[in-house]
């Protein structure tokens, strides 16, 4: 090319012309890439600026060898919704890919960057969407403003950083949040900002070089280890090895595991001993863990334990009242203290309580017991001993000894006879540990 021609092409670029010299192809054969562009199409962008962004993405495509063994490019736009436009393996012909990119329509709406990041993490690089194994996965976020939900965007950014996906963040204009861009990008040097959409061309070379040299943080996850327990709920872990000088995601991951159900309480043949509490009436509220870590089988074992407890007392309005409340991430009152006085009906009601699953909000259920559990509306009586019994997964209820109920009942009877009006919840739990009934 002559000197005069060189000046001509350079002048066109400076003037923002649509013509450009054919770029040198970047050879990433030793580092095949799956690249996803997340392009902001919210109302603040505008149709004209959106088209400029698409031309920037198209120029990126021009600089790489596109193919199933080299670089694959996908495009997803987002406003308040996420709109996948081109899958990774959908188009391997470069000109057809550029035409498809430049034909993507502008929508307008809010800026749900959090949803776009969630899509990139969970769906964009799957096999169904053309993702390949053992290649570097790259996300390029192009946005002109702040996300609609900064907290959720930060959360989704933290999640995607725990994967092998390398994230670049490009902010356009004065409305971008620098702090948010840095939280989105994998590392600070993967953030770029330009004053307006026409200045995107200034960072083309930088983005081309950074993406071509981007590397996976880790190798693939290893196999899950054996469960830490032979029955019941335990922990299994897997690891992966850092491939860089420094990695910023976790190299170890844990999950709960259930190898097989533990043996349940063997049936007892001796009839229960009925304890007469006429001189010490009790209101007893069971707080039963129904969270996801318990499991349906262990939850049923817990209910049988509570039912056996009922068998040992005289249930009536003047003797012992029993209530049951389950909890996971919410509190679910199931049986009020004065709701059922027929012993068999009470046992049936206890054993029919459904399992839910969820988080474990012990604080909420203790607050419920303190403020509502023993209220008159829930059947609580005045001038009687009030007692709450908290049964959590820590107690490994699937391993309860056959005489566990007797030990618990005996302890309650002895303590309440001498400490009639004093809360004994903590001492009761200590006794449970001392007698190893879990």
pLDDT digits (tens, 9 = 90+) for 175-193: 788 899 999 999 888 999 8
Which has the minimum average pLDDT: 355-359, 374-378, 413-417? 413-417
Residue 102 near residue 133, CB atoms below 8 Å: no
Distance, in Å, from the CA atom of 167 to the CA atom of 120, rounded to the nearest integer, reads: 10
pLDDT digits (tens, 9 = 90+) for 82-124: 999 999 999 999 999 999 999 999 988 888 899 999 999 999 9
Q: Write the DSSP string, 103-160.
A: TPPP------HHHHHHHIIIIITSGGGT--TTSEEEEEEEESS--S-HHHHHHHHHHH
In contact, 308 and 271? CB cutoff 8 Å: no
Instruction: Identify the CA nearest to 381 among candidates 302, 277, 304.
Output: 277
Token pair 């600070």 in the structure block, residue: 188
| Structural domains in the chain plus CATH codes | 33-213 (3.40.50.410), 282-437 (3.40.50.410)
DSSP 26: B
Question: What is the spatial distance between Cα 346 and Cα 340, in angstroms, rounded to a whole number?
Answer: 6
pLDDT reported for residue 132: 93
In terms of Cβ atoms closer than 10 Å to its own Cβ (0-12, 13-18, 19+), residue 382 is exposed
Q: How confident is the model at residue 417 (pLDDT cuts 50, 70, 90)?
A: very low
- The H or E element that residue 302 is part of is helix 296-311
Integer CA distances (angstroms), 208 to 21, 126, 213, in order: 16, 24, 9
Neighbours of 66 (CB within 10 A): 19
């Amino acid at each position: 090319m002559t000197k005069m021609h060189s000046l001509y092409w350079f002048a066109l670029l400076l003037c923002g012309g649509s013509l450009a010299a054919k770029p040198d192809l970047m050879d990433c054969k030793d580092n095949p890439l799956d690249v996803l562009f997340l392009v902001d199409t919210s109302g603040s962008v505008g149709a004209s600026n959106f088209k400029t962004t698409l031309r920037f993405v198209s120029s990126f495509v021009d600089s790489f060898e596109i193919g199933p063994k080299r670089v694959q490019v996908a495009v997803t736009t987002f406003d308040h919704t996420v709109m996948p436009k081109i899958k990774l393996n959908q188009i391997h012909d470069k000109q057809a890919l550029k035409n498809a990119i430049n034909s993507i329509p502008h929508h307008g709406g809010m800026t749900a960057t959090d949803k776009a990041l969630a899509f990139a993490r969970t769906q964009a690089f799957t096999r169904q969407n053309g993702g390949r194994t053992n290649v570097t996965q790259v996300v390029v976020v192009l946005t002109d403003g702040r996300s609609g939900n900064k907290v959720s965007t930060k959360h989704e950014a933290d999640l995607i950083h725990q994967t092998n996906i390398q994230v670049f963040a490009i902010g356009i204009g004065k409305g971008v949040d620098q702090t948010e861009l840095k939280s989105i990008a994998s590392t600070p040097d993967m953030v770029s900002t330009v004053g307006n959409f026409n200045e995107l061309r200034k960072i083309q070379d930088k983005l081309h070089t950074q993406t071509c040299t981007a590397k996976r943080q880790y190798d693939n996850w290893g196999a899950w280890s054996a469960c830490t327990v032979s029955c019941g709920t335990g922990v299994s872990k897997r690891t992966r090895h850092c491939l860089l000088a420094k990695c910023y995601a976790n190299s170890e991951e844990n999950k709960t595991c259930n190898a097989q159900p533990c043996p349940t309480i063997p049936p007892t043949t001796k009839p229960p001993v009925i304890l007469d509490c006429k001189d010490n009436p009790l209101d007893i509220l069971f707080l039963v863990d129904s969270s996801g870590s318990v499991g349906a089988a262990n939850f049923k074992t817990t209910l049988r334990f509570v039912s056996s407890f009922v068998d040992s007392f005289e249930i009536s309005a003047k003797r012992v009242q029993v209530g049951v409340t389950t909890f996971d991430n919410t509190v679910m009152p199931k049986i009020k203290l004065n709701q059922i006085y027929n012993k068999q009906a009470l046992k049936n009601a206890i054993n029919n309580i459904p399992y839910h699953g969820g988080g474990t909000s012990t604080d909420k259920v203790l607050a419920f017991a303190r403020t509502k559990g023993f209220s008159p509306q829930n059947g609580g009586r005045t001038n009687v001993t009030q007692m709450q019994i908290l049964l959590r997964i820590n107690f490994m209820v699937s391993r309860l000894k056959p005489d566990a109920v007797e030990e618990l009942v005996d302890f309650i009877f002895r303590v309440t006879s001498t400490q009639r009006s004093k809360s004994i919840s903590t001492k009761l739990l200590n006794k449970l540990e001392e007698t190893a009934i879990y």
